[in-house]
Amino acid sequence: MELAIKLAERGRGLTSPNPMVGCIIVKRGRIVGKGFHKKAGTEHAEVIALSDAGKKAINSTLYVNLEPCSHWGRTPPCTEKIVESGVREVIIGMKDPNSLVDGYRELKFRGIKTKIGILEKEAKKLNEAYVKYTRTKKPFVILKLAMSVDGKIATTTGDSKYITSKEARTYVHQLRSEVDAVMVGINTVLRDNPELTTRLYKGKDPLKIVVDSRLKIPKSCNLMKDPAKLIIATTNRTSKPSIRRLQQKGVNVIITKSRKGLVDLQDLIIQLGKHDITSIMIEGGSHLNSSAIKDGIVDKVMVFTAPKIIGNGIGAIEGLGITKINNAIELKNTFCRRTGKDMLIEGYL
């Protein structure tokens, strides 16, 4: 199963809105077939592995990190292929949160020895974005912070390039390639004119989302160079001519409810889910960071901390109104590791 999960990871960033799935077929202690899902609409991992195994699949054991599909979608049900192949036993990492999928019971009903829940924790972490999106139709949201050891993301002049090491920045570019979209606020665009690409990693470029309540985005900014990859979120109070001008340039403009004159992030997340966006990484400034936390849209936090002291500067998160330590937001299931000269802390809200 561990090998199946590692194989599934090869599809990271490429399978959305589908999950990452890997499949290993073993016979007499030897791997006779393997495959992973490469892209939505293409063959599933089980079908590729069974094709790889051929007749060797007869009386074999099939390992797959996610419950095989049992319904017709873009592709035929994998359970039928498994039954036809002559596989003797199927070992499954986790149940598919999609209510249409009932592969575990289907395979048992068809007389195949089947187990589920093997390395379930690892299997769920691998597809945490898919699990949330399937259950709620809302994207999985990561809040990424890069700050000094005293919690600053920029100096008093707004200078922030570069707080963290190249190794950390390269990893962030890798993370961008793995999510569907990257989100920033308009202040970040005006201050830094970011590209939000994966140039240091050479992976798939994500969609770019700009939270821009008053449509201040400059026509000459880097993000406007590829309008087809740009989503601008604004409010229903914004002037219609301004919206139309952006749409005519090829920008996708999402209009949300207005909350105190600003984009309603909860409404935005619902609308982004309707656009089949399953995962987002927020790389905003202190205001967007705090708003995202207060509005409850963040699932996971990734904090890159550089061994630097800035002193007076811009904090990573604007005031959350917390006055007592006992009321501080505590991350769950935390994990720490070194990235270049920096420390990375991951945790869940």
Q: Is 240 helix (H, G, I), strand (E, B) or coil?
A: helix
Distance CA 331, CA 301 (A): 8
Q: Is 116 helix (H, G, I), strand (E, B) or coil?
A: strand
**Residue showing tokens 């201050």:** 191
Contacts of 226 (CB under 8 A, 6+ apart): none
Task: Quote the tokens at residue 298.
Answer: 């963040």
- What is the sign, positive or negative, of the torsion defined by CA atoms of 62, 64, 66, 70? negative
What pairing do the DSSP bridges indicate for beta strands 342-348 and 332-339? antiparallel
Q: Which residues are catalytic?
A: 46
**Residue showing tokens 């990871």:** 9
Task: Quote the tokens at residue 326.
Answer: 């006992």
Q: Is 42 helix (H, G, I), strand (E, B) or coil?
A: coil
- What is the sign, positive or negative, of the torsion defined by CA atoms of 151, 203, 291, 286? positive
Task: Quote the tokens at residue 208.
Answer: 């770019």
Distance CA 7, CA 122 (A): 13
DSSP 186-199: HHHHHHH------T
